[in-house]
Structures are given as C-alpha cells and as structure tokens.
Amino acid sequence: MSVKAGTMELMLAGVSWDNRNGSKVTFWINDEDRDWFAMKTAAKGKIAGQRFMAAIVEIGDDEQPKDVTLQVSGPVPNPEPKAPSKSKFPDGLKGLSVRWCLDEHCQRWMHEQFDAEISEAGAKAAVLEICGIQSRNELDTNAAAQEEFNTYIREPYAARRRKDGLDA
C-alpha cells in the first residue's frame, strides 16, 4: 500500500455530538489547507465524506509538541526519527495574530469590541488599524505596535477566552 501524507496546523474549533449524526470535531485551518480540502471535495462532485487518517499532536504555547502518553491498541511501529516540521503559522505576536484572526470566536469578539467584520479579513483589518501598522509582520519588530496589540487585543481577548472556557 502506498501512502501520501502531508502536514498542516489545525486549531480546535469545537466538539459536538448528537443522537442523529454522532460525534463531530471541527478545526480551523489556513486558506491553503482549506483549498486542498476543497479540491478533494470537488473531485468527488462536491460531495463530502472522504475518509482520512490523521495523527494529531497538541502544540504548546512554546510552539513545541506537548509531551503526552498515548494508549494504543496493537503493535506500535518504531519509525526513523524525523526533524520536526515547521508550523505553517509564524512565531511571535504575528503568529498569534494570524491564528486568532482565523478563529471565529476571536472574529466575533473583534466585532463586539471594534465593529470589525466577522471574517478573517475583518479581524486582520482591525489588528492593523488598532496597532497602526501596514502588515502584521510589524508586530514582531515595532515596539509601539506590540504595546497596542498587547493592551487592546491580546490581554482583553485572552481574558475573554478564559471567561468563555476556551483556555484554562
């Protein structure tokens, strides 16, 4: 059997279950990965239901895989060690901003706080305006932009995430 594999970063959006449809786990992904899934669906006549196998590793705040103990059934293969893959999201405040702008919870918060459009583009535009920058790249190099981001977005939104039970 030949296996084609790829990597992508996912952000957990939610978990739901009902008697009719069973369990569902939803993830946010970046646009490039969304397009990959869209092509898979289009190839099947725009019908969802393709099956995939996934190995998921939780990423910590330090952008490194969290150390966890897995319980598995059956033999565990012992593959050759590989270098860790680089996250598709950048490091630093820029990366945090990119991840949060993809997050619908953050988009809704930005709408409530700053009347931003509820979309990735709307959240990004709000970040740029609030921080007085042209690009989120500046969040990692511009001290004034960092201060604005931390004061008006990072700290209050992190508090909202805790309040809403998204973060401990």
Number of folded domains that form the chain: 2
d(CA 164, CA 30): 24
Quick one: 60 and 122 in the same domain?
A: no
Is residue 25, in this structure, part of any structural domain at all? yes
Quick one: 60 and 23 in the same domain?
A: yes
**This model's pTM is above 0.75:** no
b vs e for 90-116, b when ≥16 Cβ sit within 10 Å of the residue's Cβ? beebbbbbbbbbbbebbbebbbeebeb
Is residue 96, in this structure, part of any structural domain at all? yes
Is residue 75, in this structure, part of any structural domain at all? no
Domain that holds residue 138: 92-163
Tens of pLDDT along 59-114?
877 778 787 665 555 555 554 444 444 456 677 899 999 999 999 999 999 999 99
Is residue 77, in this structure, part of any structural domain at all? no
Tens of pLDDT along 28-54?
888 777 777 777 776 666 666 677 777
Using an 8 Å Cβ cutoff, are 154 and 161 in contact? no
Three-state DSSP class for 62? coil
